[in-house]
């Protein structure tokens, strides 16, 4: 299972937009530079975000993009779905009663992976762009440095 760069970059760009716009349009070139994302790639993503109704474009001098809704009303799951990136955790087609095995049956772990996908969707639906901007993410994890100075290891908060 993997969240593609489309989904990650779209969320990064939307959070940047929310963080910097102050009610004024933001140029994609500025977002591209700050987030180190290709401008042409961002243009493709923002075309999908605009089509999905999540951003508005403003033409002309001083033009750029604005959030279509307040950051508090823009869910991370909506951004990911707008760029056509459903997070798949099974090999089976979503909602299909047929499994992915050659005899069209489901594997023994199908329900495990399907429920994981449901939980990921529920979590991303509970997080708004404002939550990310304001660092109010549910749950927490932190990076801890090892005493020997080696690579950090992620540790779940207790």
- The domain that holds 43 is classified in CATH as 1.10.10.10
23-29: average pLDDT: 93
- Coil, strand or helix: which one is 63? coil
Residue bearing the bigger pLDDT, 63 or 54: 54
Distance separating alpha carbons of residues 113 and 122, to the nearest angstrom = 14
Instruction: Give the pLDDT band of residue 1 (cuts 50, 70, 90).
Output: very low
pLDDT in tens, 66-115: 999 999 999 999 999 999 766 777 766 666 666 666 677 777 878 888 88
Rounded to two decimals, the pTM is 0.77
Domain carrying residue 33: 5-87+129-156
Contact 83, 44 (CB under 8 A): no
Q: What phi and psi values does residue 59 have, to the nearest 5 degrees?
A: -90, 165
Instruction: Give the pLDDT band of residue 156 (cuts 50, 70, 90).
Output: very low
Question: For the chain, what is the domain count?
Answer: 2
Distance separating alpha carbons of residues 19 and 134, to the nearest angstrom = 9
Distance separating alpha carbons of residues 128 and 121, to the nearest angstrom = 13
Q: Same domain for 34 and 60?
A: yes
Q: What percent of the chain has pLDDT over 70?
A: 76
Q: Same domain for 123 and 74?
A: no
Least confident of 22-36, 39-53, 92-106, 107-121: 92-106
SS3 sequence of 68-123: CCCHHHCEHHHHHHHCCCCCCCCCCCCCCCCCCCCCCCCCCCHHHHHHHHHHHHHH
Distance separating alpha carbons of residues 2 and 114, to the nearest angstrom = 14
Q: Same domain for 149 and 104?
A: no
Q: Same domain for 117 and 134?
A: no
* DSSP structure string for 17-83: HHHH-TTS-B-HHHHHHHHT--HHHHHHHHHHHHHTTSEEEE-STT-EEEESS-GGG-BHHHHHHHT
Token reading at 15: 């959070």
């Amino acid at each position: 299972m993997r969240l593609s760069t489309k989904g990650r970059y779209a969320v990064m760009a939307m959070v940047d937009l929310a963080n910097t716009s102050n009610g004024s349009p933001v140029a994609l070139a500025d977002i591209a530079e700050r987030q180190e994302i290709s401008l042409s790639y961002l243009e493709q993503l923002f075309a999908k975000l605009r089509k999905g109704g999540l951003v508005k474009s403003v033409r002309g001098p001083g033009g750029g993009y604005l959030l279509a809704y307040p950051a508090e009303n823009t869910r991370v799951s909506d951004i990911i779905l707008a760029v056509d990136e459903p997070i798949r955790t099974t090999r089976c087609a979503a909602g299909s009663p047929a499994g992915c095995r050659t005899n069209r049956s489901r594997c023994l772990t199908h329900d495990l992976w399907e429920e994981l996908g449901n939980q990921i969707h529920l979590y991303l639906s509970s997080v708004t762009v404002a939550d990310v901007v304001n660092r109010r993410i549910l749950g927490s994890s932190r990076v801890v440095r090892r005493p020997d100075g080696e690579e950090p290891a992620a540790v779940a908060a207790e």
